[in-house]
Amino acid sequence: MIFSSLSYFFGFLVLAFALAESLVSNEDIYLGTHNASSILETRNIWFVTFTKSGEAFKEFDDMWEATSSAYPNLHHAKVLCDLEFEFCKSQGVLEYPQIVVLRNGVWMRNVLDDSNHSVRSTLEFIEAHVTPCEMEFFKSGFKCLTEEKYEGEHLDSQEAVFELEEDESWKRVNTLRKPCPDCFQWEPIWLSITRNVAEELTMGYVNCDAEEELCAYYEVNKFPTFIAFQQLDALKYEGPLDYRELLHYANQLASYKTLHIQPQEIELVEGLYPTFFIFFHDYALTLEDEQSIKRMELYLAGNAPLFQSDSTTLANRYGVHTFPAFVSVRNGEPFLYHANTPRQFRSHERVRNWIRQASIPLVSELSPSNCHKMLGRQLSVIALLNPESETYLEDRASLLKLGKHWFQFQKRRERNFISHQRVKKYTALTKAKRSKDSKKIKRIKYSVVEHPIFTESVSFLWTDSTVWQTWLLTNLGYSENLINKVTVFIIDNEREVFYTQGQDGRPLELDEPSLFSTLTAILDNAHTISHQNMGKATICGGKAYNRSVYFKPFIYCLILFLSCIMIILLIQKRRRSQPPRTQPILGFMDFHPLLTVKAD
């Protein structure tokens, strides 16, 4: 019995050592769906051959075996794609044979395919993907004693290892964490995008398990997250996680450039783009101005075109009197970037927040791509138009006119508000000077006048009524016939309610006085106008964010906690109000109060 147990134990040790030896030697490991985690979860570098079984690619396999024999300790694995077709497809490998490098669980960009499999190209392929320490280990099996010397060494530019450098090239990074359940399926998508823009962009991965400080610095909280870098400036991709959208955004980054614009071209540009940006400067374009333009290119790629001009004619057209200046032109209406100091003018966060507001047109078509962007505003005016109607173009022009007039109306409100605040400030300053209170004078003198933005509270949208009829019935419960007339809704995105009637109780129409009075009343006091609750979905589809549902458990726990505290306080108060009990005799035993204890 003991002998048989020992034999089983020694047999297990032999198998374990054999498996360990296969993992550290150049013996091939056949990889598939069942054992992919064996190398995907390691921190070693692997050379993985995607090929077919049989004699189909024997010449390619023999060439790799002969070349890699110079590195006895090279980690190598094979995938037979005719037997593991789904695994190869999931990794983005549709053509084989090819050899792909896996480093720290991440597929590298460069591959060695059948078109270039000479001895020299194979050796160059291996040497380009390993550090000197790894090269020494693969040849001799001895670990490099000065490994820290090469930790910061930059690898070949074809690697997906990402390092931040202060250069002028674009970089785009996918940050991932291994426990992320969806990150694995994004690897072939990211590899495909990388191959499309490899010449224009430097693409890479950041594993947030290994680079926690870097991910924390750029506030990466969800995975996968896609970030674009220009020098040390970073911008998160906030669009839909779709292959076409990501590829389109990557191509926009790769080809985005600032163009010079002349006064005679402005009419054409306004007709082509509902929103575009202009950087105005004088004849002396400083280094700081060039850096600001580069930063704007990063923020505007995929959103709107950027132009630059030194024309005083264009500057006067858009109300620019000081240089440099940023202007957003939305449906022909200028929207200036205000800054009191040069530091504010070049503040990354202020510029980025301003672009988020200024890149949305005053009037635009409601579509799935821009729907979530519109939710950043409090109210949305939606006009349902029928393309087959004779008044279709006239209705669109009326809505555009309403959007422009609302913008101008709100700009006047802003100017009046700022003027009123300044009058209050200087009136208080005059009174303080009369009282000769130096501290009060200094406090009022250096106080900042508030500059509210009223123009970004409402978005004007139009869409096809025939397409959105089902959406209205499902989400709003509105089932009237919308085919033959223009229907206007006002949706409160914060309160998740909608309005179909104006302040006068009549149905909403494309009429400026009644619509503007209704919008002003809703913004000032939303409860003065009758409204209806939205259905189960939001304006963009999907479940609505019902705050009461999400906060109910927290409220219940808070009430329970406060109840326990109140009960404890009442018990303590009741105990204090009761007469004191007889002190226990001998410190540990209670006796009847009439009992007398006598000592012997």
Q: For the segment 523-546, what is each residue's pLDDT rounded down to a tens digit?
A: 777 677 777 676 655 556 544 434
pLDDT of res. 6? 42
pLDDT of res. 546? 44
Run of H or E residues at 275 = strand 275-280
Distance CA 74, CA 66 (A): 13
Same domain, 451 and 439: yes
Contact 293, 231 (CB under 8 A): no
Confidence of residue 198 (pLDDT cuts 50, 70, 90): low
Same domain, 176 and 310: no
3-state secondary structure of 202: strand
Confidence of residue 11 (pLDDT cuts 50, 70, 90): very low
Q: How many CA atoms lie within 13 A of 461 on its CB side?
A: 27
Final residue of a structural domain among 223, 253, 283: 253
With a cut of 60, say whether residue 549 has pLDDT above it.
no
Confidence of residue 596 (pLDDT cuts 50, 70, 90): very low
pLDDT of res. 142? 56
Same domain, 123 and 33: yes
Same domain, 236 and 299: no
Distance CA 348, CA 233 (A): 8
Q: Any idea which of 117-131, 205-219, 450-464, 584-598 has the lowest mean pLDDT?
A: 584-598
Closest Cα to residue 253, out of 303, 188, 190?
303
In a domain, 386, yes or no: yes
Contact 206, 176 (CB under 8 A): yes
What strands, in cross-sheet order, belong to the sheet with 106-113?
Answer: 29-30, 76-80, 45-51, 98-103, 106-113
pLDDT of res. 348? 74
Closest Cα to residue 365, out of 259, 251, 462?
462
Same domain, 91 and 107: yes
In a domain, 163, yes or no: no
Looking up residue 472, the CATH number of its domain turns out to be 3.40.30
Distance CA 530, CA 503 (A): 9
230-235: long-range contacts (C-beta < 8 A, 24 or more apart)? Answer: 230/170, 230/171, 230/294, 230/295, 230/297, 230/298, 231/166, 231/167, 231/168, 231/294, 232/164, 232/166, 233/295, 233/298, 233/348, 235/298, 235/299, 235/352
pLDDT of 481-494, one tens digit each?
A: 555 567 787 777 77
Same domain, 223 and 99: no
Distance CA 167, CA 261 (A): 27
In a domain, 578, yes or no: no
Residue 196 Cα to chain centre, angstroms: 22
Contact 201, 103 (CB under 8 A): no
Selected residue with higher pLDDT from 164 and 247: 247
Distance CA 476, CA 138 (A): 66
Selected residue with higher pLDDT from 303 and 140: 303
Final residue of a structural domain among 325, 359, 393: 359
In a domain, 79, yes or no: yes
With a cut of 70, say whether residue 225 has pLDDT above it.
yes
Looking up residue 350, the CATH number of its domain turns out to be 3.40.30.10
* Domain interval for residue 303: 256-359
Residue 320's contacts (CB-CB under 8 Å, 6 or more residues apart) are 280, 314, 327, 336
Mean pLDDT of the chain: 70
Distance CA 492, CA 478 (A): 16
In a domain, 364, yes or no: no
Selected residue with higher pLDDT from 68 and 585: 68
pLDDT of res. 478? 58
In a domain, 321, yes or no: yes
C-alpha dist (Å) from residue 220 to 227, 376, 380, 484: 9, 21, 30, 49
Mean pLDDT over 427-441 rounds to: 82
Same domain, 428 and 526: yes
With a cut of 60, say whether residue 593 has pLDDT above it.
no
Q: What are the φ and ψ backbone dihedral angles of 143, each rounded to 5 degrees?
A: -75, 140
In a domain, 302, yes or no: yes
Distance CA 496, CA 135 (A): 61
3-state secondary structure of 461: strand
Same domain, 465 and 523: yes
Final residue of a structural domain among 533, 553, 587: 533
Same domain, 186 and 294: no
Distance CA 416, CA 413 (A): 5
Same domain, 114 and 66: yes
With a cut of 70, say whether residue 404 has pLDDT above it.
yes
Mean pLDDT over 557-579 rounds to: 79
With a cut of 80, say whether residue 41 has pLDDT above it.
no
The residue written with tokens 């105990």 in the block is 575
- Max distance between CA atoms of the chain, in angstroms, equals 121
Same domain, 307 and 243: no
Closest Cα to residue 522, out of 536, 542, 508, 541?
508
Q: How many domains does the chain divide into?
A: 4
With a cut of 60, say whether residue 597 has pLDDT above it.
no
Mean pLDDT over 288-312 rounds to: 81
In a domain, 468, yes or no: yes
Mean pLDDT over 186-195 rounds to: 72
pLDDT of res. 474? 59
Same domain, 327 and 221: no
Please report, rounded to a whole number, the percentage of residues in the chain having pLDDT higher than 70: 64
Contact 173, 226 (CB under 8 A): yes
Please report, rounded to a whole number, the percentage of residues in the chain having pLDDT higher than 90: 0
With a cut of 50, say whether residue 327 has pLDDT above it.
yes
Distance CA 360, CA 435 (A): 49
